[in-house]
Amino acid sequence: PADRENAVKDLPLNPSADRLATDLVELSALSDRDQPGWSREVFGEPYREARTWVARRMQDAGLEVSSDGAGNIVGILAGNSPGAPPLVTGSHTDTVAGGGRFDGVVGVLGAIELARCLRESGTKWTRDLVVVDFLGEESNDWGLSCLGSRAVAGELSAADLSRVDRAGVLLGDRYQQFDLSVDSVLSADWLRERRPHAYVELHIEQGPLLERRRAQIGVVTAIAGIQRLVATFTGRPDHAGTRPMDDRRDAMVAAARAVLAVQQLGCGAPTHGVTTVTNLDAGTASPNVVPASVQMKMEMRSIDRSWFSAAQQQLVGDIAEQAAREDVDVDFIWTNDNEILDTTLAVQNAISGAAENAGRSWVAVPSGATHDAVHIAGICPTGMIFVPSKDGRSHCPEEWSDVEDIAAGVEVLGRTLAQLDRA
């Protein structure tokens, strides 16, 4: 109806690129200076400092801040009907090692800037606005990403918390440094208690599509599923100097052939699919012994359901074939990080409508990266807004987004939530 359109059109929302820039600079200073780029890994000291800073920033913006039992920082801007299902937005502020300054951060700082704009303009929505900095979105030594969003979505189990890292430290024990216990993590159910009306996450694209299509806003249609594989190649140790080349069972050669087979599978994906070998580890190999055991870690991602499961089978066959060529054995351990997620159509439409209201060009894009949104989607209608990444780079020091693009993203986030507030 016209009045709803006008109400959203006239939304006094003018996010400040300057305030966003100031916050981005201050937060990026809270990182591990001994590593290249910006490193703020979950449970690390810089991350602890950053969360104190984020909580204070949320308070300054007028949000009622608390830490839920799962280590997420939750800020609430009360609406006129606090009992109504709330609008939730947010992202994460942890990074990969040697990462960038924008991944996740844009969604947390953008939401805080949105709260500032609403308060300044005296705009009060019907529904509460809930801003969340989710704990530990990036993958970690325990092999489990999205710790905070999984927990509040009820997707984190006691078994998950009893995983150990390379140093034998229990994941559950690491929460103690945030004064949290396994019980508090497993019982953090406020998101399921207060079933949100919708969740919308602002994030950098981390890829080249928006830049190539000269679009200011990405309306995310789907988030790629991720399957991770550890393949262990077992050959035979031999003296590297005396063993004839035609009589070896060289685990390293088998693994090398497998790396190329993995790449070939990804390159052959018909619509959307990527495959990456992220690590080859020959253990404590001696410099004069034919490698007997090599561990290969890889991940594959796709939004194409018909390709994804068949591709996993084909991958196992291709790797086994390459191992057999070297008379090497191989075994496989798969872990499913997350299923493919189709975002909610109504939320996609609210985002594209908001982009048009804001006079911003937009394009529908898939997300090759995973996000907290994947886990919140099981609880409520969910969508994501992308802003462009320079040269499509991310998870590296070169990661960059222009603050004007981020401010445009915040405006579209605000207009999207304003529409959903009335829906």
Binding site for ligand HGY (CB under 6 A): 137-139, 145, 369-370
Choose between 138 and 160: whose C-beta lies nearer to ligand HGY: 138
Q: Which is closer to Mn ion, CB of 33 or CB of 239?
A: 239
Residue 294 Cβ vs Mn ion, minimum distance, rounded to whole Å? 22
In whole angstroms, how close is the CB of 144 to ligand HGY at the nearest point? 11
**Nearer residue to ligand HGY within complex by CB, 87 or 224:** 224
Are β-strands 198-204 and 87-92 bridged in parallel, bridged antiparallel, or unpaired? parallel
Q: Which residues are paired to 77 by β-bridges? A: 129
Residue of 32, 103, 205, 318 interacting with Mn ion (CB under 5 A) = 103
104 binds Mn ion (CB under 5 A): yes
Q: What are phi and psi of 297, to 5 degrees?
A: -105, 135
- In three-state form (DSSP H/G/I as H, E/B as E, the rest C), the secondary structure along 296-364 is EEEEEEECCHHHHHHHHHHHHHHHHHHHHHCCCEEEEEEEEEECCEECCHHHHHHHHHHHHHCCCCEEE
Among ligand HGY, Mn ion, none, what binds residue 370 when CB lies within 5 to 8 Å by partner kind?
A: ligand HGY
Query: In terms of CB distance, is 68 or 137 closer to ligand HGY?
Result: 137
- The answer to whether the beta carbons of residues 107 and 91 sit under 8 Å apart is yes
Q: Minimal CB distance to ligand HGY: which residue?
A: 369
x/- binding map, residues 258-277, to Mn ion, per CB under 5 A? --------------------
340-365 per-residue burial string, b: 16 or more CB within 10 A, e: under 16: bbebbeebbebbbbbbebbebebbeb
- The whole-angstrom separation of Cα 203 and Cα 388 is 9
DSSP state of 103: T
Binding mask 380-399 for Mn ion (x = CB under 5 A): --------------------
* CA max distance for the chain: 85
Minimum distance between the CB of residue 197 and ligand HGY, rounded to whole angstroms?
26
- Closest approach, Cβ 69 to ligand HGY, in A, equals 23
Is 23 a residue that touches Mn ion (CB under 5 A)?
no
Nearer to ligand HGY, 137 or 304 (CB): 137
Minimum distance from residue 211 beta carbon to ligand HGY (Å)? 18
Measured distance CA(402)–CA(24) in Å, rounded: 11
- For Mn ion, the closer CB: 103 or 421: 103
Contact call for residues 62 and 122 (beta carbons, < 8 A): no
Cβ at position 198, least distance to Mn ion in Å: 20
Question: Do 152 and 191 form a contact (C-beta atoms < 8 A)?
Answer: yes
Instruction: Select from 104-112, 191-199, 290-298, 323-331 the region that touches Mn ion (CB under 5 A).
Output: 104-112
- 165, with CB counted inside 10 A (0-12, 13-18, 19+), is middle
Footprint on this chain of Mn ion (rule: CB under 5 A): 103-104
